[in-house]
């Protein structure tokens, strides 16, 4: 036990003395949450639009002002001629143009049918789609209001509810994703690097010649990073709840338990990498290419797994972060209990057992 404590104390000295790395490890989750929370968002807000109103009547005016009033749009320019529309798109000033034909009001009154043209900049297809949808919804809304006093033969109204995330906040999606990414980076990469570093320096030989049991070395190496990760989870959750207003709907205890399980999976992966890699660069490279990239791509956090071709969907199953991401989303956002995520929990537990067993076996008592 004394050996163990002496070793852990030494590890903390290493971490503490390397202030730059320590700040990166502790600061990274905070920066990521802030960047994802405030800068990198796929929500549509205050998109610039231009309006070409050739009719200028009561109907077009009130529709224009409703578009302007919504938080999705911001009027950049009132256009006069059709040619200006393309010109504005070329300048890149606007994301969407709304065009009322000269006969808008007349058509509406005499034929009960009028047309509005929406032109969106589909260089960014998702945003274009969303903008058109929002605009259509606003126009529909207006139409409902003016037809209220008239009887239509048939009407079908869609009534929808956005479950779990009524405001459609992006944070609900990326907070679980950032948690998975940060834990993986800190635990896997740092654990791998720290062990390989001792191999490189030659100090590992001295430790292996000492009576310290190799398994104990492995655990002593991992424990400081387990602690650092716990701090990271705490800071991510605090920021999410108090700054981004993402609720923790499920049990906090369950969330922490699952996170520690995922940390252990990541630590075991780190140990596994360290057993293979001979230099710190290799360790970092393997961590980034073999773990970080697949995690970003295939965990479902950036791209929905359901839309992927079958081979990728199959591969995604071996990505631990996929399961953890699902668990965090379920517990945090949907507020479900263990009964709904026991399968994912068992999978993570199995992965941990497997990686840890292999890692400890691989961490050889003798160097060759």
Partner 1 sequence: MQNEKVITVNKLTKKFGDFTAVDHISFDVFKGEIFGFLGANGAGKTTAMRMLCGLLFPSSGEATVAGYDVYKENEKIKKSIGYMSQKFSLYEDLTVKENMQFYGGIYHMTEKYIKEKTATILKQLHLEKEGNLLVKSLPLGWKQKLAFAVSIFHEPGIVFLDEPTGGVDPVTRREFWNMIYEASDRGTTIFVTTHYMDEAEYCNRVTIMVDGRIDALDTPSNLKKNYNASSMDEVFLILARKAVRAAD
Q: Which is nearer to partner 1, 141 or 205 (CB)?
A: 205
Q: Which is nearer to partner 1, 207 or 227 (CB)?
A: 207
In the complex, the residues that contact partner 1 under the rule CB under 8 A are: 2-3, 5-7, 9-10, 13-14, 17-18, 201-203, 205-212, 365-368
Please give the Cα distance from 299 to 317 (Å, whole number): 9
Q: Which is nearer to partner 1, 74 or 200 (CB)?
A: 200
Burial label for 3, CB within 10 Å (0-12, 13-18, 19+), is middle
- 304 half-sphere exposure, CB direction, 13 A CA radius: 2
Strand partners, 47: 73
Q: Which is nearer to partner 1, 21 or 281 (CB)?
A: 21
Residue 151 backbone phi and psi in degrees, to 5: -95, 125
Contact by Cβ (8 Å): 316, 308: yes
Contact by Cβ (8 Å): 37, 63: no
Q: Which is nearer to partner 1, 18 or 106 (CB)?
A: 18
Q: Which is nearer to partner 1, 170 or 214 (CB)?
A: 214
* Nearest-5° Cα angle at 16, 232 to 243: 25
Strands 47-53 and 96-100: parallel
Burial label for 289, CB within 10 Å (0-12, 13-18, 19+), is exposed
> Please, what sign has the CA dihedral across residues 128, 132, 135, 141?
negative
109 Cβ contact partners less than 8 Å away, ≥ 6 residues apart: none
- Of 156, 164, 132, 128, the C-alpha closest to 331 is 164
CB atoms within 10 A of CB 264: 21
Instruction: With residue 276 as reference, give the H or E element that holds it.
Output: helix 252-276
CB of 182 to partner 1, least distance (A): 25
Q: Which is nearer to partner 1, 2 or 90 (CB)?
A: 2
Contact by Cβ (8 Å): 44, 133: no
Q: Which is nearer to partner 1, 207 or 358 (CB)?
A: 207
From residue 126, give the alpha-carbon distance in Å to each of 121, 133, 359.
Answer: 10, 11, 43
Q: Which is nearer to partner 1, 17 or 90 (CB)?
A: 17
DSSP assigned state of 305: G
């Amino acid at each position: 036990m004394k050996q163990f404590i002496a070793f852990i104390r030494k590890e903390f000295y290493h971490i503490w003395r390397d202030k730059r790395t320590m700040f990166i490890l502790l600061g990274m989750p905070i920066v990521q949450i802030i960047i994802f929370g405030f800068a990198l968002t796929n929500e549509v807000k205050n998109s610039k639009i231009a309006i070409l109103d050739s009719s200028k009547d009561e109907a077009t005016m009130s529709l224009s002002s409703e578009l302007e009033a919504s938080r999705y749009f911001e009027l950049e320019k009132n256009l006069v001629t059709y040619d200006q529309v393309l010109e504005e798109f070329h300048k890149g000033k606007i994301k969407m143009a709304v065009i009322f034909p000269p006969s808008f009001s007349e058509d509406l009154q005499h034929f009960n049918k009028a047309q509005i043209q929406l032109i969106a900049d589909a260089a960014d297809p998702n945003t274009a789609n969303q903008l058109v949808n929002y605009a259509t919804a606003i126009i529909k809304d207006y139409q409902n209001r003016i037809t209220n006093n008239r009887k239509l033969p048939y009407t079908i109204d869609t009534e929808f509810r956005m479950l779990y995330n009524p405001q459609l906040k992006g944070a609900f999606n990326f907070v679980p994703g950032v948690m998975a990414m940060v834990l993986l980076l800190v635990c896997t990469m740092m654990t791998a690097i720290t062990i390989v570093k001792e191999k490189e320096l030659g100090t590992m030989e001295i430790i292996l010649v000492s009576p310290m049991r190799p398994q104990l070395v492995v655990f002593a190496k991992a424990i400081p990073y387990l602690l650092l990760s716990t701090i990271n989870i705490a800071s991510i959750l605090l920021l999410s709840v108090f700054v981004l207003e993402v609720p923790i709907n499920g049990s906090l205890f369950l969330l922490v338990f699952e996170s520690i399980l995922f940390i252990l999976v990541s630590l075991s992966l780190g140990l596994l990498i360290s057993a293979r890699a001979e230099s710190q660069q290799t360790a970092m490279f393997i961590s980034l290419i073999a773990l970080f990239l697949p995690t970003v791509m295939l965990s479902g956090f950036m791209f929905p797994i359901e839309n992927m071709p079958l081979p990728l969907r199959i591969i995604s199953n071996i990505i631990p972060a996929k399961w953890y991401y699902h668990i965090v989303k379920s517990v945090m956002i949907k507020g479900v209990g263990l009964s709904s995520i026991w399968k994912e929990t068992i999978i993570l537990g199995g992965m941990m057992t497997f990686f840890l067993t292999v890692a400890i076996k691989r961490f050889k008592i003798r160097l060759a």
